[in-house]
Amino acid sequence: MRIDRDSYGTLALVFILGAFAIWASLRFIPVRFLAWAIVVLVWAFCTWQLFFFRVPDRARRGSDKAVASAADGRVVIVDEVYEGEVLKRQCKRICVYMNFFDVHANYWPVSGEITYYRYHPGKHLLAFKPKASEENEHTTVVIRTADGQEVLFRQLAGTFARRIVCHAEPGKKVQASEQCGIIKFGSRLDMYLPLNADVKVKIGDKVLAAEGIIAILQ
């Protein structure tokens, strides 16, 4: 396991502010019990932040046929929708919601070549709401597999997320189940697949990024 390299600055700020809060509590709060209670809470928060920005070692089970979950979390939507930004067709959509305790590192769902990438500024609605897919701050990435099938996925910021990191760029060759970025704090990841994809998950399932296979492309 390692710490996400794009989160070093965030963690440095957290620990600097944490150290200041601990010093101020011990220096200015005369009630020792209260001062030490604050110290424990601040230290617990800093430890949780290390845990939050972790990138665990995962078995790489995705391929150009097996679609791995791009995020840890719970499946909240499995349906068919029209994808109007890029693909312009009906797709199977699978949405994974990440809570505060899930790994927030994201992974490429399939192997192939990136044909489209765009960052969209937007709102910060609750990430589990269906309309968050279009209205919230998000990225859109399309990967074309070796046999020409296209998989689109979106990193969606939630109410508390204020930064999305994505390492996509058109023309880049990617390997399934390698890290592609991170969303900082509670958020959602949507995947759009061809209609003939064999979906392996249902609403309520808990999935692991990189290891959990959510569908098989035909």
Closest C-alpha to 209, from 179, 187, 186: 179
- CA torsion sign for 124, 126, 128, 132 is negative
Other Cβ atoms closer than 10 A to 133: 20
Where would I find the H helices in the chain? 8-28, 32-52, 132-135
* DSSP per position, 140-167: EEEEE-TTS-EEEEEEEE-SS---EEE-
Q: Name the token pair of 218.
A: 């035909």
213 Cβ contact partners less than 8 Å away, ≥ 6 residues apart: 61, 62, 66, 67, 68, 69, 200
The three-class DSSP label of residue 152 is strand
Out of 69, 133, 177, 187, the active site residue is 187
* Rounded-to-integer distance, Cα 25 and Cα 32, Å: 9
Active site residue 69: no
* Rounded-to-integer distance, Cα 116 and Cα 169, Å: 7
Active site residues: 187
